[in-house]
Structure 1
Amino acid sequence: MTQLEAARQGIVTDLMRQAAAAEGIDAEILRARMAEGTAIICHNVKRKNGSPLAVGKGLRTKINANIGTSKDDTSIDKELEKARVAVRAGADAIMDLSTGGPVDEIRAAIIAETGVCIGSVPLYQAAVDKVLRQKKALVDMTVDDIFNGVIKHLDDGVDFITVHCGVTRAVVERMKNEGRLMDVVSRGGSFTVEWMAHNNAENPLYEYFDRLLEIVKPYDATLSLGDGFRPGCLADATDRAQIHELIVLGELTQRAQEAGVQVMIEGPGHVPLNQIEANITLQKRLCHGAPFYVLGPLVTDIAPGYDHITCAIGGTLAAAAGADFLCYVTPSEHLRLPTVEDVHEGVMACRIAAHAADIVKGVPGAIDKDIAMARCRKNLDWEGQFNLAIDPDKARRLRAESGVDEEHGACTMCGEFCAYQVMSDGSRRRKAAAG
């Protein structure tokens, strides 16, 4: 019995209790939301070192960090360090997107290294095996190659897999008829589009969706239905191809849930601020409230080197409107493979967005730290401020670099004219005069 099947039968499982405890909510609340498909627990039954991660309605907004090699950088040690840094910075999940070097060993090492939720894109496995190992063309992948990649990742213990099931021939035709500035920017989406064109065939992950469900169900892993037609620039946002694919994903969501398989939906992409809320509303309506996992969204196309900021802006609005899971973007987006430092910056920016949105959504306890921080600032309690900070190490470092000692109450922004200091000194004088 899968977690979804148990939830629909009114059974609260041990995993539900663990995940609910981490959220600070009653396990029955989580069970009920899972039963209606608005919340999920990401946890592959093969994982021995992983904790269940709850994602969805009324829960804390989660953060994912993408890592992984390319043919230009195949270091396992470097990717493991990125995984460690992402977890220390507060990422709830890590996606291994490796396409270069010993990808099987890299994935196994990342899974063994951390107890956080792990995601992947199995289609990359099939592509790497075909191109790099068999020295054939990507479009020569067979249907069995594609499904064997899924099995391999699930056997390794991956908790959720991105599968581009909504990339169909009909959606491709719709994209061509409307015209797009950047066509397909999803790597998995582009693989699928080219495979369909070369083989004059439908997407196997769509055509044989029931086979996919039969494979996934015994592992009780989560299907993350990928957005192969996500907009790669503002000009392509919310077009017919994107929405057609979303309609397909809504239909597949129902089929998966009926089969007892948990689902979340992936979303855009590059989206102007004034379209973000509409995108969230459409997804929630078309996919019956299934958890929504968004990449960004990025609210401008002209900030290379600062895309962690454009991501945080869009992610805040998306999560406040109902997105449940944010995929970080690093300063290196569109430029290079991220460094360890980029990973840290990306997670921190995304955590700020998630927390700001959780305050808006009224997630229990979300605003408590902000209130505590305000008290510490009023009292010039620097140690308290550091402990409450989203990045304590950076906060400590910046204050130390200013040259003030701990006996000095104010910071160098205002010095003796610090508003808190002025008010505090005035209060003491008034009390002394009254005494």
Structure 2
Amino acid sequence: MNYATQMEAARKGIFTKQMEEVLREETVSKEFLMAEMAAGRIVIPANKKHKNIVGKAVGNGLKTKVNVNLGVSEDECNNHLELEKVRTAIDMKADAIMDLSIYGDTKNFRKKLVEMSPVMLGTVPMYDAVAKYGKDIGRMTVEDLFEVVVEHCEDGIDFLTIHAGLNLECVKRIQNNPRLTHIVSRGGSILYEWMLINKKENPFYEHFDRLLDICREYDVTLSLGDGLRPGSLKDATDAPQIQELLILGELTKEAWKKDVQVMIEGPGHVPFNEIAGNMMLEKKLCHGAPFYILGPLVTDIAPGYDHITSAIGGTLAATHGADFLCYVTPAEHLRLPDLQDMKEGIIASRIAAHAADIANGVKGAIDWDHEMSKARGELNWERMFELAIDPEKAREYRKSSSPENEEVCTMCGDLCPIKRGKDLKEA
């Protein structure tokens, strides 16, 4: 039997190679996976042109996934460094990588990324349209925008962030409800400017059927972007954000009619006490589609530490329905992240995801923690390093402060309660 997309395959009862790969690392049943994919609550982003991809699934009942953003800008255009980041992100077990490049030879970089990456890949075509054409934003045509979408699909990108929900109705909402930080989404701000200059509807909203036909042809997952996500706590859960979410819910149903897989992108900066409500709204208004979130950051006052503010919000969000965490680095709001920033962001997000998986009762998630506790109880340092989420850093800390008795650490020394308990048992 033939199928165009992973969603169509699930609906026809076809068990694909990518579904088989997903079940190697997930603990759900084949029947559950296919039923949830058919309903749109699980997606497997896997472009037919991305030949070396290993299937990963995002959505209901699965492990929380982590995405890593990278890519060059006009001020920091070092493709060699970005490719090193790609290799490092894969080694550090990132589940996805997004190329957000906005300058230079984006196509060549993107092709190298597809060739070397077994993990799912995402892009934002709107960024590349600006880099590709070098035009004033208002002079870009509908054909310009769709040409870039096709190019990214042809190059093998697995999921595309498209801000299709930011339509003229949303423009009214943002104008009638002034914000502290206005529009902080780069893609959203570009489309907002384009609509204001041209006095026309968002091309991706107006020609959404055309977009769906392209995605169906390549089996590219639509990651419906949150162009009006809040960029400050004050703007969280406001009228523009919710208006866009309503539109995204409607577009999701249209995509499912054509068997196109969909993820919904979410906030942003959200007070801790509003996170659960935001997750509930997305799942309700967008019919259970997987939720892909940036953060959310729970405070605005911590530049240099936003990987921490994001991890706090990410854990809570993932325990209330978020399925996919976009990492945030210490460089957020300050600069393009370097390699060390990226590492810290990945670890913080993976910790948040794992903590949520434990809280959600994902089968087998807590076993990792039990293994670590067993190694600690035995003062088995080598096993602790093997189990650590960042073995390199754990080894460095241990090595930097050597105790007189190698069995313990320099925190407690001879008063180590675990050692003394072991000695008492053995006496």
Report the TM-score when normalising by structure 1: 0.96
How many Å separate the matches in 2 of 1:393 and 1:331? 19
Q: CA deviation at 1:87?
A: 1.4
Q: Secondary structure at the match of 1:261?
A: coil
Distance in 2 separating the partners of 1:13 and 1:49: 15
AA aligned to 2:206 is E
2:36 matched residue in structure 1: 33
Please give the secondary structure, in 2, of the residue aligned with 1:42: coil
- The match for 1:218 is 217
Counterpart in 1 of 2:66? 63
Residue 99 (1) aligns with residue 125 (2): no
* Residue 112 of structure 2 corresponds to residue 113 of structure 1: no
Deviation at 1:10, TM superposition (A): 2.3
- Contact conserved, 1:74 with 1:102, CA < 8 A, in 2? no
Q: Distance in 1 between matches of 2:165 and 2:360?
A: 30
Secondary structure at the residue paired with 1:161?
A: strand
1:259 alignment counterpart: 258
Alignment of 1:154-169 (within 5 A): 154-169=153-168
Give distance in 2, aligned partners of 1:31 and 1:24: 13
Match of 1:433 in 2: none
Alignment map for 1:405-420 (pairs within 5 Å):
408-420=406-418
- How far has the Cα of 1:80 moved from its partner? 0.2
Q: Deviations over 1:230-260 (max 9, x none)?
A: 0000000000000010000000000001111
1:336 aligns with 2:335: yes
Asked if the contact 2:46–2:219 (Cα under 8 Å) also holds between the matched residues in 1, the reply is yes
CA-to-aligned-CA distance 1:332-380 (integer Å, 9 cap, x gap): 0000000011111100000000000000111111000101111111111
Matches within 5 A, 1:313-332: 313-332=312-331
Contact 1:68 1:96 in 2 (8 A): yes
After superposition, the C-alpha distances for 1:168-223 in whole angstroms (9 at most, x for unaligned) are 11111112112111111000000000000000000000011001001110111100
Q: Which amino acid aligns with 1:100?
A: Y
For residue 56 of structure 1, what is the amino acid of its counterpart?
G
Partner of residue 151, structure 1: 150
- Does the aligned pair in 1 maintain the 2:47–2:158 contact within 8 Å? yes
- Partners in 2 of 1:286 and 1:410 — Cα distance? 53
Which residue identity is paired with 1:92? D
Paired residues in the alignment total: 424
Distance of 2:344 and 2:412 partners within structure 1 = 28
- Aligned match of 1:284: 283
Give the letter for the 1:389 counterpart.
A
The aligned amino acid for 1:228 is G
1:425 aligned residue = 423
| 2-structure distance, mates of 1:25, 1:259 | 26
Residue 48 of structure 1 corresponds to: 51
Match for 1:242: what amino acid? Q
RMSD between aligned residues: 1.0
Mapped partners of 2:328, 2:138: distance in 1: 29
Could you tell me which residue of structure 2 aligns to residue 174 of structure 1? 173
**Greater CA deviation, 176-185 or 347-356?**
176-185
AA paired with 1:40? V
Q: Flag as ranges the 4+ runs of structure 1 deviating above 4 A.
A: none
What is the SS of the residue equivalent to 1:95? strand
1:76-95 deviation digits (Å, cap 9, x = unpaired): 10100111111112211000
Map 1:341-360 → 2, pairs under 5 A: 341-360=340-359
Contact in 1 for aligned 2:329/2:344 (Cα 8 Å): yes
Deviations 1:87-143 (A, max 9, x none): 112211000000111111111112222211100001112111222xxxx31111100
Q: Deviations over 1:12-35 (max 9, x none)?
A: 222211212232333222111101
The worse-fitting range, judged by mean Cα deviation, of 353-362 and 9-18 is 9-18
**CA displacement, residues 32-56 of structure 1 (integer Å, 9 cap, x when unaligned):** 1101111010100001111111000
Cα distance in 1 for partners of 2:103, 2:420 equals 59
Paired residue secondary structure (2:325): strand
Please give the alpha-carbon distance, in whole angstroms, between the structure 2 residues aligned to 1:34 and 1:417.
54
Q: Does 1:238 align with 2:260?
A: no
How far, CA to CA, are the matches of 1:85 and 1:205 in structure 2? 34
Are 2:22 and 1:22 equivalent residues in the alignment?
Answer: no
1:42 and 1:212 map into 2 onto residues whose CA distance is 16
Verify the 8 A CA contact 1:130 1:138 in the aligned structure 2.
Answer: no
Matches within 5 A, 1:290-309: 290-309=289-308
- Is the 8 Å Cα contact of residues 170 and 243 (structure 2) preserved in structure 1? yes
The one-letter code of the counterpart of 1:288 is: H
